[in-house]
């Protein structure tokens, strides 16, 4: 038996919500086959099965939030799926039960009227005598056999002379079916000649039902709602909690630098077609910014650090998280050792992580361990913004849209490709001077780019 546990989907994540089971108890599951879906503030993804076998037991229901490493299910790797033998047991049972229910009810009603004082033990012996005693009632002008309350009520409602109804029940007893058959046979001739006693009893049932229903219809309708209420998704709730926590934890300050991206824009335009043909994906501005940020982080290691109580934790690796917009939220997968990668390698990693983030295929270790983050809000046309720090990091760099603008170059007006770099930093650890030095270094690398993209 293999235990299936709630995985940790980020270093700061302590719990996750199981949003959907993709397999049911008793079903076969292959190793690494998607078993269930989870949602945290960092990722909304499918979790593969750790072993092959039969899903023997589900311990956590859909929608439940549990701590990491909690056992959510068990997989039996030794037994196969078992067929359910109960399928043939009740195939025909419901039909006869439904058919017998009405007849049984009528028989009970008849028995209560014909022999109310009899004990259960005496009924089998006296039943034949009751049947033999059935003929006398017609001589007295009454229908044969006992009448159930249901038959009497139908007779009153439809003004039926029961002496004209032929009984088909035991001993000539009149049943509900006999009354309905009689009504069907006399339907064409029923209207012209109702019995004289009928008008006295007819008004009673007519006064009871219709008027109250008609009087209730004109009730005032409530005014249409002026707002639509929709609960947040689990991922949206986690993002909200994480952002509020970050604002409450770090002293957020944002510095903005304008950067001339003309050299990179020209390099990108000249290499864009051949790059697409050679590697199968397009060349964007993001790998250039990521490469420049990684180099600046190596030169300013405190921006790559984090706060741990009253200590500064310096990270030996430069692991840059790249924000990816999803349909219902945001996720920040991590590029590990970004300072060791080329433009091609960075672009490949960015494309791959973004694709798998949107198709819910990220692995747990791909959304944790980040030491610095970059968000490209310029891809949606924004010039600059003030991004929120991704805890426990102390800095995040926002990249605005690259647009052509008239700027002054050597005392002359020129058209240049410009963008804004917005660095949000934690003022507990980084002062404004250091933040500007770091951002200025990123800008300097981008403005004086000399490497080839291919």
Does 140 have pLDDT greater than 70?
no
Q: Which residue has the higher pLDDT, 209 or 71?
A: 71
Pairing of the two strands 412-426 and 65-67? unpaired
Q: What's the pLDDT tens digit per position in 2-37?
A: 899 988 776 667 788 888 899 999 999 998 888 898
Pair (41, 179) in one structural domain: no
The total of structural domains in the chain comes to 3
What domain range includes position 334? 234-447
- Regarding whether 367 and 240 lie in a shared domain, the answer is yes
Please give the pLDDT value at position 216.
57
Identify which of 75-79, 116-120, 178-182 has the greatest average pLDDT.
178-182
Q: Higher confidence at residue 382 or residue 82?
A: 382
40 & 144 share domain: no
Query: What pLDDT digit, counting tens, does each position of 95-109 carry?
Result: 444 334 444 444 444
Cα–Cα–Cα angle for 402, 403, 404, rounded to 5 degrees? 135
Residue 370 pLDDT exceeds 80: yes
pLDDT digit string (tens) for 31-59? 888 889 887 765 667 888 889 999 999 99
Q: What is the pLDDT of residues 314-329, one digit of tens each?
A: 999 999 999 998 887 8
We report the CATH number of the domain holding residue 16 as 2.40.50.100
The pLDDT, as a whole number, for residue 185 is 80
**Of 43, 62, 79, which closes a domain?**
79
Same domain, yes or no: 439 and 306: yes
What is the residue whose two structure tokens read 């996720």? Answer: 331
Whether 177 and 253 share a structural domain: no
Q: Give the count of beta carbons closer than 10 Å to the beta carbon of residue 56.
A: 16
Q: Are residues 308 and 387 in the same domain?
A: yes
Sign of the four-CA dihedral 253, 255, 256, 259? negative
Polymer length in residues for the chain? 454
Q: Give the pLDDT confidence score for residue 98 in this predicted structure.
A: 38
3-class SS letters over 331-377: ECCEECCHHHCCHHHHHHHHHHHHHHHHCCCCCHHHHCCCCEEEECH
239: in domain: yes
**Helix crossing, 176-186 with 149-158: angle to 10°?**
20
| Residue 220 belongs to some domain of the structure | no
Determine the pLDDT at residue 83: 40
Secondary structure in 3-state letters for 28-76? EECCCCEEEEEECCCCEEEEECCCCEEEEEECCCCCCEEECCCEEEEEE
Asked if the model's pLDDT at residue 208 lies above 60, the reply is no
**37, 64, 79 - which closes a domain:** 79
The pLDDT of residue 407 is 94
CATH number at residue 186: 4.10.320.10
Verify that 263 and 396 share a domain, yes or no. Answer: yes
Predicted local confidence at residue 259, as pLDDT:
97
Residue 16 forms part of a structural domain:
yes
Judge whether 144 lies within some domain. Answer: yes
Lowest mean pLDDT among 28-32, 113-117, 245-249, 375-379: 113-117
Q: How far apart are CA 294 and CA 343, in angstroms?
A: 12
pLDDT of residue 179: 81
Closest CA to 359 of 381, 379, 340, 333: 333
90 within domain boundaries: no
CATH for 256: 3.30.559.10
Beta strand pairing call for 372-375 and 320-322:
parallel
Taking the C-alpha atoms of residue 400 and residue 320, their distance in angstroms, rounded to an integer, is 18
pLDDT at 118 over 50: no
151 falls in which pLDDT band (50, 70, 90)? Answer: confident
My answer on whether 250 and 343 are in the same domain is: yes
- Distance of alpha carbon 160 from alpha carbon 165, whole angstroms: 8
Percent of the chain with pLDDT over 90: 45
At residue 226, φ and ψ (nearest 5 deg) are -95, 0
Domain annotation covers residue 93: no
Same domain, 50 and 156: no
- Dihedral sign for Cα 101, 102, 103, 104, please: positive
Residues 299-303, mean pLDDT to the nearest whole number: 97
Three-class SS string for the chain? CEEEECCCCCCCCCEEEEEEECCCCCCEECCCCEEEEEECCCCEEEEECCCCEEEEEECCCCCCEEECCCEEEEEECCCCCCCCHHHHCCCCCHHHHHHHHHHHHHHHHHHHHHCCCCCCCCHHHHHHHHHHCCCHHHHCCCCCCCCCHHHHHHHHHHCCCHHHCCCCCHHHCCCHHHHHHHHHHHHHHCCCCCCCCHHHHCHHHHHHCHHHHHHHCCCCCCCCCCCCCCCCCHHHHHHHHHHHHHHHHCCEEEEEEEEECHHHHHHHHHHHHHHHHHHCCCCCCHHHHHHHHHHHHHHCHHHHCEEECCEEECCCCCCEEECEEECCEEECCEECCHHHCCHHHHHHHHHHHHHHHHCCCCCHHHHCCCCEEEECHHHHCCCCCCCCCCCCECEEEEECCCEEEEEEECCEEEEEEEEEEEEEEECCCCCHHHHHHHHHHHHHHHHCCCCCCC
Whole-angstrom distance, CA of residue 328 vs CA of residue 390: 18
Which residues are identified as catalytic? 427, 431
CB atoms within 10 A of CB 349: 20
Q: Which residues neighbour 10 within 8 Å (Cβ) at sequence distance 6 or greater?
A: 40, 41, 42, 43, 364, 367, 368
Torsion angle of C-alpha atoms 340, 342, 344, 347, degrees rounded to 10: 60
pLDDT tens across 214-240, in order? 555 666 666 666 788 888 887 888 888
Q: Which of 79, 95, 126 is the last residue of a domain?
A: 79
pLDDT the model gives residue 141: 54
Question: Would you state the pLDDT for residue 327?
Answer: 81
Mark whether 427 and 310 lie in a shared domain.
yes
Chain-wide mean pLDDT for the chain? 80
Does residue 192 sit in the same domain as residue 261? no
- Of residues 406 and 184, which shows the higher confidence score? 406
| Domain annotation covers residue 125 | no
Q: What is the mean pLDDT of residues 411-421?
A: 96
Domain assignment present for 14: yes
Specify whether 197 is located in the same domain as 267.
Answer: no
């Amino acid at each position: 038996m293999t235990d299936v546990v709630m995985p940790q989907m980020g270093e700061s994540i302590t719990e996750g919500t199981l949003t959907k089971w993709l397999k049911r108890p008793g079903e076969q599951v292959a190793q690494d086959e998607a078993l269930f879906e989870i949602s945290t503030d960092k990722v909304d993804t499918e979790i593969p099965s750790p072993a092959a076998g039969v899903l023997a037991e589900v311990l956590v229901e859909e929608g439940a939030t549990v701590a990491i490493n909690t056992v959510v299910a068990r997989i039996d790797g030794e037994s196969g799926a078992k067929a359910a033998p109960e399928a043939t047991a009740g195939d025909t049972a419901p039909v006869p039960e439904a058919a017998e229910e009405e007849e049984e009810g009528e028989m009970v009603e008849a028995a209560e009227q014909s022999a109310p004082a009899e004990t259960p033990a005496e009924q089998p012996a006296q039943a034949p005598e009751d049947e033999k005693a059935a003929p006398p009632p017609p001589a007295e002008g009454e229908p044969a056999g006992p009448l159930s309350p249901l038959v009497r009520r139908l007779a009153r409602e439809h003004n039926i002379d029961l002496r004209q109804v032929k009984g088909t029940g035991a001993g000539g007893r009149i049943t509900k079916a006999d009354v309905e058959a009689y009504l069907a046979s006399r339907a064409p001739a029923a209207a012209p000649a109702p019995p004289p006693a009928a008008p006295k009893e007819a008004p009673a049932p007519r006064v009871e039902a219709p008027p109250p229903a008609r009087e209730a219809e004109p009730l005032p309708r409530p005014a249409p709602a002026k707002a639509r209420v929709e609960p947040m998704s689990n991922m949206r709730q986690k993002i909200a909690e994480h952002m509020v926590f970050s604002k409450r934890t770090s002293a957020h300050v944002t510095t903005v630098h304008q950067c001339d991206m003309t050299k990179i824009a020209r390099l990108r335009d000249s290499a864009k077609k051949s790059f697409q043909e050679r590697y199968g994906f397009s060349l964007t501005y993001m790998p250039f910014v990521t490469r420049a940020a990684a180099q600046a982080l190596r030169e300013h290691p405190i921006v790559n650090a984090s706060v741990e109580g009253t200590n500064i934790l310096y990270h030996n690796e430069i692991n840059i998280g790249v924000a990816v917009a999803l349909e219902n939220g945001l996720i920040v997968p991590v590029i590990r050792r970004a300072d060791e990668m080329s433009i091609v390698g960075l672009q490949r990693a960015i494309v791959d992580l973004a694709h798998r983030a949107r198709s819910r295929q990220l692995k747990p270790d791909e959304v944790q361990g980040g030491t610095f983050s970059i968000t490209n809000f310029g891809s949606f046309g924004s010039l600059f913004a003030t991004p929120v720090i991704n805890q426990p990091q102390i800095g995040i760099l926002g990249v605005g849209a690259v647009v052509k603008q008239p700027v002054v170059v050597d005392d002359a007006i020129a058209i240049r490709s410009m963008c804004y770099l917005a660095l949000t930093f934690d003022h507990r650890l980084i002062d404004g001077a250091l933040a500007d030095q770091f951002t200025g270094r990123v800008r300097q690398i981008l403005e004086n780019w000399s490497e080839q993209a291919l």
